[in-house]
Amino acid sequence: MGALDKVKDSDDATSDAPRESRWFGGSSRDLFGPASSHPKENSLDPLHHGSQGSPMETESAGHDIRFDGRDRALDSFSLDPQSSHDAKVVGEAIAQNVPVQEWAGASVADRVRLCDSAYRDISSGMAIEAPPPMLEFALPDETLGFTRGRDVHYNARQLDEPSPQSVIETLAHEYRHVWQQDVLSGDRQHPLGKDGTSWLAEGQQRYDQDSDDFDDYAWNPMELDAEAFARQVSRAYNDYQEDSNER
């Protein structure tokens, strides 16, 4: 992710690789166990906590897989209003182009095409320039996706899921990291201005260190922002699908 390219690149993403070699000059979206109980705080809490509501509750998930180790951090975090709006627009666009019913009856090849369709909605809704996502067949099960530079990769096992929710969240999460790159490089203004940029820069500075501990990782500003965005995309997707079914 941007300046996180200082992390040593690796071309090997097999499950035999040590954890530190899987960050690929960027981030990965990993499955989590339950979070520990020790409290954490972020230095710019006033702008990122408060009245917007928790990003996505577990019971609103389209299927049973949730990233429980992130939930406690997300409960006390809120996206800025503009990003929340963008996530809603993206989720509704994906819902129109990647309906659950079509996914359920699709072949693996067709599901790849549906993922590419979701990518187009994400990149358009976020106004980012990045290449389409790349499938990875050798990632460990707990790693759902990663970024390297502006390239997004996702775990092929998500194509076997009965719902596209997991891969939609993964793509939204990873392309949000591309959006963060643009903010940190000065190519785009954060909706919260300098305070929002500084908050992401804090997360960027400590990202390598935080990646060694799942709790620190879940509370890292860049991960909080990306996962909250992904879950709001997912919520909008689910809401649109439910409304469509009731029509």
Average pLDDT, the chain: 78
Average pLDDT over residues 1-29: 36
Q: Which residues contact 23 (CB under 8 A, 6 or more apart)?
A: 4, 7, 146, 208, 211
Q: Are strands 134-136 and 151-155 parallel, antiparallel or unpaired?
A: parallel
Summarised one tens digit per residue, pLDDT across range 108-159 is: 999 999 999 999 999 999 999 999 999 999 999 889 999 999 999 999 999 9
pTM of the model: 0.77
On whether the CB atoms of residues 80 and 196 are closer than 8 A, the answer is: yes
Q: Residue 3 region, left (φ>0) first, then alpha (ψ -120 to 50), else beta? A: alpha
Going along the chain, which residue ranges are E strands? 28-30, 134-136, 143-148, 151-155
Task: Give the per-residue pLDDT at 75.
Answer: 85
Summarised one tens digit per residue, pLDDT across range 66-114 is: 555 688 888 889 999 999 999 999 999 999 999 999 999 999 999 999 9
Closest CA to 220 of 98, 70, 87: 70
